Structure 1
Amino acid sequence: MKNKTNHSLIAPCIAVFGTGSDVGKSVIAAALCRIFADRGLNVAPYKAQNMSNNSGVTPEGLEMGRAQIVQAEAAGIPPHVDMNPILLKPTSDVGSQVVLLGEAIGNQSAMDYHQKKRRLVTEANGALDRLREKYDLVVMEGAGSCAEVNLMDHDIVNFPMAEYAEAPVILVGDIHRGGIFAQLVGTMECLPPAFRSRVAGFIINRFRGDLRLFEEGVRWIENRTGLPVFGVLPWYNHIRIDPEDSVVIERPCSVGPQTDGRPAVAVIRIPHISNFTDFDPLTAVSGLGVHFVKTPQDLSMFKAVILPGSKNTRFDLDWLKTSGWQSKLDAYQKAGGHITGICGGYQMMGLAVHDPGGLEGAPGTTDGLAFLPVETTLKAPKTTTLSRFDWDAIAGTGYEIHMGQTILKEGRPLLEVHERNSQPAHDADGCVAENGLAIGTYMHGLFDTPALIAHWLETVGISGVDVPDTGGLAAKMEQYALLAEHFCRYVDMERIARLIKVEG
């Protein structure tokens, strides 16, 4: 890749916006990052403001949205908080924790947040400016629908940012949802003329069937809008890219006792689930079923149950109790079932969660599920680390993102931690219950290492499955290559490349 040596030259930008949430913006931006990087350009992703509880940690020990981490990986560069300067992590229906340039600055209501937009716009613009000085090209991603007319005056992610960057916009629609013509034409009609003129063309995502049957549809869109359809991307099942939003697990359903015969694992879909991509490597294990379940049900058909991370541990802990899940979990473990907790799920599995300062709501204490002999106290500062550890002498790498500290009352630690943010550590993490039926850890990425997947499967009593040989970043890079190949097959990349003036 080239290094940008003349910092007086500012890199061009290209923006990927959507007709709605979960239409494929993040994945398409990742594909563009990989493709232009393969062409020899030094490419960086950028999203001014991300609203997601799916986050990760940079090499500097700062927090940012996982979507831009994925895009940075696809571009072959380390993630940096300038790529996602503002991260909103919802803690309730009306409030979020605000992470600015990688550091949590507190919880704010939507109204409070809007009142502070001027400062945030300045921060977002500064982050983009720094990227444009350092890189050859910036691939910008929008948020949600770019045509929410009631929010346009407050928007700092979509067209106002594209205008600031003078970026051409590719508008993405999802044909799988139906109404693709209304999606694209309706979005254009909702835009004021200045924004509409910035749209350079369309990409239609998630097509099923014979592409030749949609040729007339492409012509209609192009004739109606006067803009090109750069490509129609078929649905794929052979590529695995970490999704940005929990929209992909919004419709979990009960799993009946008659499964497909494979050993199965349940992940409880708590209301404020975070970092659900922790479990993507498990879905790549051949012969293993992984199910997100929300409605309380009998768990006896599952070999293991996982309590995932949470952005509001005490709320989700109360939900487990009031919804009926606690009694199902109690019965499952009494029958010999194994429960694993990750981060917030680990905290919930303890004896109590104390919140003396009211970080997640009213100050107080919530009794835990009592599967592990630990107690947690929520308090600042927030822990954000890239960590190196081992579990029973099997080495792994992961990351930690949590508020508070957890103390073991009994039992033994699960992991030995050897390094945090490139600094040596001599520490322990997590807990193993004396009966061996419950374990918990703060370590996200526990399943990124194939040997650790195999060890966990052995721990919970699952055999007869096939764990992939490759894991972590190496496995992801293979997927990014497949994504770029798929994209180039169906999208006119030469036409897109002409939208930007770069050498490559």
Structure 2
Amino acid sequence: MKPKAKKAKCLAAFGTGSDVGKSIIATALCRIFSDKGYAVSPYKAQNMSNNSGVTPEGLEMGRAQIVQAEAARIPPHVDMNPVLLKPVTQIGSQVVLLGKVLQDYSAVQYHQEKTRLFDTACQALDRLRAENDVVVMEGAGSCAEVNLMARDIVNLKMAAYADAPVILTADIDRGGVFAQIVGTLACLEKKQQDQIAGFIINRFRGDITLFKDGVDWIEKKTGKRVFGVLPWFDHFHIQSEDSVVIEHPEAKTDPSQTPTVLVVRIPHISNFTDFDPLFQVKGVAVDFVERVQDLSPYKAVILPGSKSTRNDLDWLEQTGWTAKIREYAQNGGHVLGVCGGYQMLGKEVQDPGGLEGKPGATEGLGLLPLVTILKAPKTTTLSNFEWDGVPGAGYEIHMGQTASLEDLNSGKVRSQGLFKVLDRNQQPCRDYDGAMSDNGRVMGTYMHGLFDSPAVLKKWLKSLGLEGLEIAEESGMQARDRQYDLLARHFEKHVDVEALIKEAME
């Protein structure tokens, strides 16, 4: 008789709503299980986010599970996020299945594929369970959306498949925490209620001892325990999963008093975490801004990545941003475009195959003498590069090519650019990425995560005339690793970790 295949235990971190702290709690659990010697992996069956990254195999997955894999001290793998939805319109998304683009689906079309996608997600979880001691599962949004529950493949149905106890996270900072918890349970059938092992209250401000009566009330009302109350933290930083954290962008800094970088909050923004390292630089402020305003006081303007470049170009034109950014550049301002933002800086974005909607072309900002042609397949690489001899590392996720019209028509490999690319997905290459204007004030690149390299960040700030600033010498991964440790210690201080481990491993 063959020995029974190993099957890891599972523990699920679900929420009463979006942005209540599920990702943070899953990240903390991954680091804590790893600290205690368990082979642990994160898992989220379906992730809806334009904030994605690249695995060592050159495949695409959600950044939240990449962060959690880092916390677990293992390489990210697409089994950790088998289904990734990247919103293209209000009613449609690009579906990335096991790291590769499947196709764009409307919401209706996607729901028709749920059975197949659930099976694929289950197979991915099975593979993770065969290789680990424990899998930390993350839910999506609220686990009690009654109108979606029959088609939900990421929350309670997946937890039932994995026989995973569920820790329900509620956010006290947004108010109504008692209604969040009791209301969530009230929306569930008795069998689903029984899946909930207990609760974690997140983002508490003030004296926690004053909430003891609240904890007692919740436990008495629900018959389930509160595993802990997590205070609001600001002494460490963990990358956010999606753009909910910048849903209400506005200028928060007086750029005449503090050197400030403005990031234009375009409608289809992607990979906004590219700019997290800027927030850690003392003496520099960063504002995500949606409303058009005077740009002259700002040290630099950044156009971030976009999941729908042509639509966002139209938005820039219609809102008046296009004129303002052109004027700012003409008057000596510094402009940086990353990925979709880089494409926008050129003369034109062509979409002959209709990858982003109706086939056609859209005029760019014209700040770089380049043209972009959108076409498959999608480029997904981990890349190492040099910028005038300064080493850096990043990742590329984009459709199409950006170059001069002459080079695009001839099919030549670029012989110059902003960065010299040394290798992609560990394969040496001779290529160039990005471009810079003749005056050196307008730059564009496909490299996400370029500021994770302290030397590159320092060089870019120097180009803005900002020298002598305090920049951590730790690389992106080294810096993030320290943050995961701080998160784990914060979590252990306020949550009954041993009870959670017992819940998961018994």
Question: Shorter-chain TM-score: what band?
Answer: over 0.9
2:255–2:298 Cα contact (<8 Å) kept: no
User: What's the TM-score, normalizing by structure 1?
Assistant: 0.97
- 2:409 aligns to what? none
SS of the counterpart of 1:499? helix
| Aligned-residue offset at 1:460 | 2.1
Q: Distance in 2 between matches of 1:150 and 1:27?
A: 27
> Which residue type is aligned with residue 496 of structure 1?
L
| Aligned-residue offset at 1:408 | 2.9
- 1:34 aligns to what? 31
Q: Distance in 1 between matches of 2:78 and 2:314?
A: 33
1:151 to 148, 153, 157: 148
Q: Distance in 1 between matches of 2:212 and 2:160?
A: 32
1:265–1:305 Cα contact (<8 Å) kept: yes
Q: Distance in 2 between matches of 1:224 and 1:65?
A: 36
Does residue 106 (structure 1) correspond to residue 110 (structure 2)? The answer is no
2:34–2:73 Cα contact (<8 Å) kept: yes
Does residue 189 (structure 1) correspond to residue 193 (structure 2)? The answer is no
> Which residue type is aligned with residue 370 of structure 2?
V
Q: Distance in 1 between matches of 2:251 and 2:499?
A: 46
1:405 to 387, 401, 406: 401
SS of the counterpart of 2:65? helix
2:444 to 436, 440, 445: 440
- 2:423 aligns to what? 419
Structure 1: which 5+ residue stretches go unaligned? 1-5
Q: Distance in 1 between matches of 2:40 and 2:252?
A: 43
Q: Distance in 1 between matches of 2:405 and 2:298?
A: 29
1:477 to 477, 481, 487: 481
- 1:373 aligns to what? 369
Q: Distance in 2 between matches of 1:7 and 1:67?
A: 32
Does residue 299 (structure 1) correspond to residue 295 (structure 2)? The answer is yes
1:7–1:133 Cα contact (<8 Å) kept: no
Q: Distance in 2 between matches of 1:29 and 1:226?
A: 24
Which string of whole-angstrom CA distances, capped at 9 and with x for unpartnered residues, describes residues 424-453 of structure 1? Answer: 111000001112110000000110011110
Q: Distance in 2 between matches of 1:206 and 1:156?
A: 28
Q: Distance in 1 between matches of 2:167 and 2:504?
A: 12
1:408–1:431 Cα contact (<8 Å) kept: no
Which string of whole-angstrom CA distances, capped at 9 and with x for unpartnered residues, describes residues 254-308 of structure 1? Answer: 357x448221100000000000000000100111101000000001111001000
- 2:114 aligns to what? 117
Q: Distance in 1 between matches of 2:50 and 2:244?
A: 11
Q: Which one is further off, 328-337 or 445-454?
A: 328-337
SS of the counterpart of 1:479? helix
> Which residue type is aligned with residue 286 of structure 1?
K
| Aligned-residue offset at 1:239 | 1.0
- 2:328 aligns to what? 332
1:214 to 211, 215, 228: 211
Q: Distance in 2 between matches of 1:150 and 1:239?
A: 37
Q: Distance in 1 between matches of 2:288 and 2:178?
A: 33
Which string of whole-angstrom CA distances, capped at 9 and with x for unpartnered residues, describes residues 447-474 of structure 1? Answer: 0011110000011222342111112101
Does residue 53 (structure 1) correspond to residue 50 (structure 2)? The answer is yes
1:385–1:420 Cα contact (<8 Å) kept: yes
- 2:251 aligns to what? 254
Would the alpha carbon gap of residues 131 and 260 (structure 1) be closer, same or farther in structure 2, given more than 3 Å must change? farther
2:167–2:199 Cα contact (<8 Å) kept: yes
- 2:265 aligns to what? 269
Q: Distance in 1 between matches of 2:255 and 2:191?
A: 54
Q: Distance in 2 between matches of 1:259 and 1:379?
A: 39
1:273–1:308 Cα contact (<8 Å) kept: yes
1:46–1:83 Cα contact (<8 Å) kept: yes
2:91 to 69, 94, 101: 94
Structure 2: which 5+ residue stretches go unaligned? 407-414
SS of the counterpart of 1:251? coil
SS of the counterpart of 1:329? helix
User: What's the TM-score, normalizing by structure 2?
Assistant: 0.96
- 2:169 aligns to what? 172
Which string of whole-angstrom CA distances, capped at 9 and with x for unpartnered residues, describes residues 362-408 of structure 1? Answer: 00000100011110000000000001111110111110000001113
SS of the counterpart of 2:210? helix
1:287–1:464 Cα contact (<8 Å) kept: no
Q: Distance in 2 between matches of 1:255 and 1:237?
A: 18
SS of the counterpart of 1:146? coil
Q: Distance in 2 between matches of 1:376 and 1:272?
A: 18
2:265–2:290 Cα contact (<8 Å) kept: yes
- 1:454 aligns to what? 458
1:412–1:432 Cα contact (<8 Å) kept: no
SS of the counterpart of 2:451? coil
- 1:466 aligns to what? 470
Q: Distance in 2 between matches of 1:129 and 1:260?
A: 55
2:264–2:289 Cα contact (<8 Å) kept: yes
Q: Distance in 1 between matches of 2:78 and 2:348?
A: 34
> Which residue type is aligned with residue 366 of structure 1?
T
2:381–2:424 Cα contact (<8 Å) kept: yes
SS of the counterpart of 2:312? helix
> Which residue type is aligned with residue 385 of structure 1?
T
> Which residue type is aligned with residue 157 of structure 2?
P
Q: RMSD across aligned C-alpha pairs, in angstroms?
A: 1.3
Q: Distance in 2 between matches of 1:68 and 1:289?
A: 28
Which string of whole-angstrom CA distances, capped at 9 and with x for unpartnered residues, describes residues 101-133 of structure 1? Answer: 000011110000000111101100000000000
Q: Distance in 1 between matches of 2:65 and 2:442?
A: 33
2:416–2:432 Cα contact (<8 Å) kept: no
- 2:384 aligns to what? 388
Which string of whole-angstrom CA distances, capped at 9 and with x for unpartnered residues, describes residues 318-351 of structure 1? Answer: 1000011011111211221000000000000000
- 1:280 aligns to what? 276
> Which residue type is aligned with residue 339 of structure 1?
V
| Aligned-residue offset at 1:501 | 2.1
> Which residue type is aligned with residue 329 of structure 2?
Q
1:254–1:297 Cα contact (<8 Å) kept: no
1:386–1:399 Cα contact (<8 Å) kept: yes
Would the alpha carbon gap of residues 372 and 7 (structure 1) be closer, same or farther in structure 2, given more than 3 Å must change? farther
> Which residue type is aligned with residue 81 of structure 2?
N
| Aligned-residue offset at 1:216 | 0.4
Identity of aligned residues (%): 61
SS of the counterpart of 1:470? coil
Aligned pairs, number = 496
> Which residue type is aligned with residue 230 of structure 1?
F
